[in-house]
Amino acid sequence: MHLAFDLMRGLERALADAAAAAGIEPGAFEPGVRTSDPRHGDFQANGVLAAAKRAGKPPRPIAEALVAGLGDDIRVAFEVSVAGPGFINFKARPAALLSWLQAHRSRAGLELGASAAHKGETWVVDYSSPNTAKQMHVGHLRSAVIGEAISRLLEFTGARVVRDNHIGDWGTQYGKLIWACRRHLDEAALARDPIEEFERLYKIGSSAAEADPAVMEEARAELVRLQAGDPVSLALWRRINEASLAAFQRIYDRLGIRFDETLGESFYNDKVERVYAELSADGISSMSEGAQVVFHPEHPRFKTQPMIVRKSDGAANYATTDLATILYRSEHFHADGILYVVDKRQADHFEQLFLTARKWFVRRGRPIPKLQHVDFGTVLGEDGRPLKTRTGDNIKLRELLDEASERALALVNAKSPDFPEDERRRIAETVGVGSVQYADLSQNRSSDYLFSWDKMISLEGNTAAYLLYAIARIRSIFRRHGLECGDPAAESGADAFQTPDEIALARKLVKFSDAIRLATETLCPHFLCLYLYELAGEFSAFYNADKVIVDDPAVRARRLVLCARTLLFLETGLSLLGLRTLERM
């Protein structure tokens, strides 16, 4: 029995064929296959109702005709029935479930099946993108975590992914910072904690400039010197960047992030002239109040609210570099798509940016990449306001991860006191950081979310710890019985699933492909989280009801298939979300 990776797609094709054979015009029938409530089956086709409506005929006879026209391969694999007003239900037979699970037994095999979705495409993912000379704080968490998960999902589904950290390493704030560096730099403090020292210096520069117009003027002069390539200014600027990137990387290491490119704003310094010139020559931009701007007359708001591409003082702003960046990504990486994993408050900016870029590219006859703002909401404290410390400062990301790790360590110490200390620490870091990542990913990214230590680290419900625990239990079964996970020998002779809990788990397993497809299509990792949580839940129920290591070799083999695949899917799924997993905890 051959079953494709994506069972839903297979059913859609079979139904389309049956419709053609039944004389329904192509285009008049959209199969509309969805996963369904387990009470009804595994998949259902909703399309007959709409087609019948259009044709002005009763739906049930049409559904029955389609079912009668299905090929033998479908009938062998599924129980097919017509229900209600005209739904077609498909319930996978136990033998088909086993067959699918035997065909998808490795990560490489899953990837092969999934990679059809974006094969041959190049996607640039723009995420994290902090400003240099500052610590990363909670505000930087979501972009980093969501961006990494989306990058991994796209890669898994066949795309070439360019992870680009578009850092803020240029702009007016560097004038003030360098002004302060020249006067107040404390080399000892810099050696101890460079970012802290730069933050201190920036505060000095910023408040001095605010208090004294002469200082402001000097700061501006510093910026001009830097832009002119003054060696002392440039050396300071490089030091700031190096120290900042090193600090960022320490956070990224803990989150499992590694960028392919770090092309910050400064990289586009010499590329903005072309933006000014082309937009102006193409008549896309105009002059208003001394600035070069783009209006969009067809847009209800942007007909009066312009996008400023060059400030009245002649300088570039983020709109300018963002346009130059799109051009670079298009010409240099040949991007088919560019994703911006950025706070939803910047929605207006991206809408203007994309409108402008498309007009510009159309005028120049360039291929237009798909442009999407992958937005996300704010992290809120338990008072419902943006998460801050008690004193009103931003919570540093390093301290947040430290606390997560510490809280997890207290738990590991309580639950597994006999493990060696260094292992307990490693487990705590994996559980703690993973809990932060998972808490963020498991919620719909577009809405704000409430950050609660207790919920996150309580390790109950839809949390990282629950999934990691399921993995640890499966690993334990194999370890205890001296078996290697996924060893074909241990699985040979398996017969079809029989008990209710075996069948329920197997039915959940074969929907892995659907979860990957859904999460990737919508760029919403929480769909994958939800699937993994439900999978772990089905496993726990099965584990509680059916003993795996039993004497009957056929029963043991089929249960080992379930254990091995649950483990594979949980580990693959978590790694696609950017989480590390554990052997034991």
Partner RNA sequence: GGACCUGUAGCUCAGUUGGAUAGAGCACUUGGCUUCGAACCAAGGGGUCGGGGGUUCGAGUCCCUCCAGGUCUACCA
Question: H or E stretch including 286?
Answer: strand 286-288
* Chosen residue from 469, 497, 512, 569 binding RNA by CB under 7 A: 469
N- to C-terminal Cα distance for the chain?
39
Is 55 among the residues that bind RNA (CB under 7 A)?
no
Q: Which is nearer to RNA, 46 or 102 (CB)?
A: 46
Contact 233, 222 (CB under 8 A): yes
Rounded Cα gap, residues 19 and 297, in angstroms: 46
Q: Which is nearer to RNA, 238 or 547 (CB)?
A: 547
Q: Which is nearer to RNA, 192 or 274 (CB)?
A: 274
Quick one: which segment of 155-163, 276-284, 388-396, 456-464 binds RNA (CB under 7 A)? Answer: 456-464
Is 585 among the residues that bind RNA (CB under 7 A)?
yes
* Chosen residue from 18, 427, 494, 535 binding RNA by CB under 7 A: 427
Q: Which is nearer to RNA, 242 or 460 (CB)?
A: 460
Phi, psi (degrees; rounded to nearest 5) at 355: -55, -45
Contact 48, 62 (CB under 8 A): yes
| Helices (H), ranges, 294-343 | 318-333
* Chosen residue from 233, 356, 437, 443 binding RNA by CB under 7 A: 443
**44, amino acid identity:** Q
Q: Which is nearer to RNA, 37 or 210 (CB)?
A: 37
Contact 149, 578 (CB under 8 A): yes
Which residues inside 159-188 make contact with RNA, applying CB under 7 A? Answer: 168, 171-172
Which residues inside 327-366 make contact with RNA, applying CB under 7 A? Answer: 344-349
Quick one: which segment of 82-90, 179-187, 330-338, 358-366 binds RNA (CB under 7 A)? Answer: 82-90
* Token output for 290: 């001394």
Q: Which is nearer to RNA, 274 or 345 (CB)?
A: 345
Is 210 among the residues that bind RNA (CB under 7 A)?
no
List all residues 6 or more positions away from 482 whose beta carbon is below 8 Å from its beta carbon.
none
Quick one: which segment of 138-146, 269-277, 285-293, 325-333 binds RNA (CB under 7 A)? Answer: 285-293
Contact 16, 31 (CB under 8 A): yes
Rg of the chain, C-alpha, whole Å: 28
Which residues inside 494-553 make contact with RNA, applying CB under 7 A? Answer: 514, 518, 521-522, 524, 526-527, 530, 533, 537, 540-541, 543-549
Which residues inside 289-308 make contact with RNA, applying CB under 7 A? Answer: 289-291, 293, 300-301, 305-306, 308
Is 37 among the residues that bind RNA (CB under 7 A)?
yes
Rounded Cα gap, residues 474 and 548, in angstroms: 10
State the minimum distance, in angstroms, from the CB of residue 25 to RNA.
18
- CA of residue 62 relative to chain centroid, distance: 41
Compute the half-sphere exposure of residue 222: CA atoms within 13 Å on the CB side of its CA: 27
State the minimum distance, in angstroms, from the CB of residue 315 to RNA.
7
* Chosen residue from 13, 36, 355, 554 binding RNA by CB under 7 A: 36
* Chosen residue from 40, 107, 363, 426 binding RNA by CB under 7 A: 40
Rounded Cα gap, residues 1 and 507, in angstroms: 17
Q: Which is nearer to RNA, 98 or 562 (CB)?
A: 562
Is 38 among the residues that bind RNA (CB under 7 A)?
no
Rounded Cα gap, residues 309 and 294, in angstroms: 7
Contact 164, 125 (CB under 8 A): yes
Taking alpha carbons only, the member of 393, 429, 562 closest to residue 490 is 562
| Helices (H), ranges, 460-552 | 464-480, 488-491, 500-509, 512-522, 526-545
* Chosen residue from 221, 415, 488, 498 binding RNA by CB under 7 A: 415
Is 46 among the residues that bind RNA (CB under 7 A)?
yes
Is 115 among the residues that bind RNA (CB under 7 A)?
no
Distances (CA, A) of 393 to 140, 222, 243, 289, 456: 14, 29, 22, 37, 22
Is 462 among the residues that bind RNA (CB under 7 A)?
yes
Rounded Cα gap, residues 537 and 507, in angstroms: 13
* Chosen residue from 207, 269, 389, 476 binding RNA by CB under 7 A: 476
Which residues inside 373-412 make contact with RNA, applying CB under 7 A? Answer: 380, 384, 408, 411-412
Q: Which is nearer to RNA, 190 or 490 (CB)?
A: 490
Is 106 among the residues that bind RNA (CB under 7 A)?
no
Rounded Cα gap, residues 216 and 474, in angstroms: 63
Quick one: which segment of 80-88, 103-111, 113-121, 568-576 binds RNA (CB under 7 A)? Answer: 80-88
State the minimum distance, in angstroms, from the CB of residue 51 to RNA.
9
